[in-house]
Chain A
Amino acid sequence: MDFVSTLSAMFESPLMQRALIIAILVGTTAPIIGTYLVQRRLALLGDGIGHVALTGVAMGWLAGSAAGFDSVGALAVPGAMVAAVVGAVLIEVAREKGRTSADVALALLSYGGIAGGVLLMGIAGGTSANLTGYLFGSISTVNMLDVWLTVGLAGLIVAVGIGLRPALFSLCQDEEFARATGLPVRTLNIAIAVTAALTVSVSMRVVGVLLVSALMIVPVAIAQLVATSFRSTMAVAMLIGTSVCIAGLTTTYFQPLSPGATIAVLAIGLYVLVAFLRPLIGRRGRTVQAKLNTSGKTTTTTTAQAP
């Protein structure tokens, strides 16, 4: 079978169709909230929430087991969602109250989350191996219910992340000023925390909780190397997130590799490439600009953008 016919078979496969839909939605939405986290210097928040989500997965298993479900893992994703939201709100409350610094709260939640997940899974009668799919992703097992759930959550993330962008930008850029303008800072902080938790829950099936931060943060890290504004950073990051998800998933159709790891490595590889090329492009740009200046041409290209 040649490459084209294999590619054609991939797009005709219902399993790959579902996986691609989810990958595109996750690749598009994860960098939205990642942009705010990077701006707030909370890039590792996704990691912390991901670890808490693992406890939620195990709680879902425990509940499924207690309820006598045929598929004991049926409540794993809803459990992860609830735990992620609770964990994210707890981190936010700890940060707001100032009783402990955000990074310490994050560390406590991370360690507690992963340890709680392993312990509860044991109590539920499972083994740590049952957690592997959630640790590293299991996009090949998604069903139509997962697709609709992802569509709904992605819609919510877009509505909050893009609909409230001016207010969230203000909050992340200067929280004290946001408070001094009367913005509902506490509500907006909770909105970011909950949206981050939902993003983790959505991304979990694609890249797994251990690599969820990669999908939220690395596209933003690449975008900020080339973008000129907050809005364009978010847009470029969404484009990069979608592209690496599609490329990663397609790669795993041809090679027996882990989709989550492949997507993360592709994203990091792209970061290294752009970081390496950027000075060269910048130098060439400066040379062109110097020539234009010498010839007396105007080179001002600034454009006003509001978030």
Chain B
Amino acid sequence: MPSPLVTPTPAVRTRDLSVNFGTGRVLDGITLHIEDGEAVALLGANGSGKTTLLKALLGLVPLEHGTAELYGVDVARRRLLPWDRVGYVPQRVGFTSGVPATAAEVVASGLLSNRRLRPVAQSRRRILAALEQVGLAGRAGERVHTFSGGQQQRVLMARALVRRPDVLLIDEPLAGLDVESRESLAGTLSALRRAGSTLLIVLHELGELEPVITRSVILQRGRMVHERVAVSSPDGQW
């Protein structure tokens, strides 16, 4: 007897999602499904709502209407969310605070979650592996504020990767990076996709990440106006 057909829970799902800032509507009626293993680019002009959508998916901004789910759990139910499966890379963090912090200390933050207020066992090994993954091997003990902008961005990527997430939400990873850093990042993301990770990446343009992306979603003034599956086979895999 054939086994019943089971529809896998999508990594990300929104239904008619709307977000207001003050009296202005920033996102309006966004319905989006991202299956496991997809690499989706969220494109649009400045102020189109890309970053706000990313933050809404993480429960960082309140929803005015609709729902957002990560692996089938409503983001409003923060305690029940599978935080260990989710990685987040913000656009930029100012590492200019007077208190010095090493790359290892910053990356260690990625090991924490609602059920884990201290890093797990084997954390040191995982931190070093994550830094190696982004091309910063051997720099764990260096102060982050002495790093270049591109290197700091890689530290933020390592901070998300150290969680070993199933889905990675990345905000404008190419912004302000030189060619070398952009290519390095494209290599890292390509490897993640080959390993089966789900990616949702906010971008102004596909640029070096075009071979990684399987689908593009375009936002305009808070609305989804276009959705396009990549024509070329990403990474030559299909």
Contact = CB atoms under 8 A, between A and B. Distances in A.
A231 interface: yes
Given A39-B99, A173-B101, A178 B109 contact: yes
A220 B99 contact: yes
Interface string A19-35: 00000000000000001
A258 B86 CA distance: 55
Given A180-B60, A182-B83, A305 B113 contact: no
A288 interface: no
A167 interface: yes
A224 B100 contact: yes
Interface residues of A, number: 37
Q: Range of interface residues on chain B? A: 35 or more
A144 B225 CA distance: 72
A35 B99 CA distance: 7
A230 B113 contact: no
B85 to A, nearest CB: 11
B128 A304 contact: yes
B105 A307 contact: yes
Interface in B66-124: 78, 81, 83, 86, 88, 90, 93, 97-102, 104-106, 108-115, 117-119, 123-124
Interface in A7-23: none
Contacts of A224: 98-100
Contact of B98 (A170, A221, A229, A300): A221
A229 B101 contact: yes
B143 interface: yes
A167 B58 contact: no
Interface stretch (B134-142, B184-192, B205-213): B134-142
B104 A306 contact: yes
B218 interface: no
Contacts of A301: 141
Contact of A166 (B86, B97, B108): B108
Contacts of B111: 166
6 contacts: A164-B117, A167-B118, A181-B88, A181-B109, A224-B99, A229-B102
Interface of A: 35, 38-39, 41, 164, 166-167, 169-170, 173-174, 176-184, 220-221, 224, 227-231, 233, 300-307
Given A173-B97, A306-B123, 5 more contacts: A166-B108, A166-B117, A177-B90, A182-B83, A306-B119
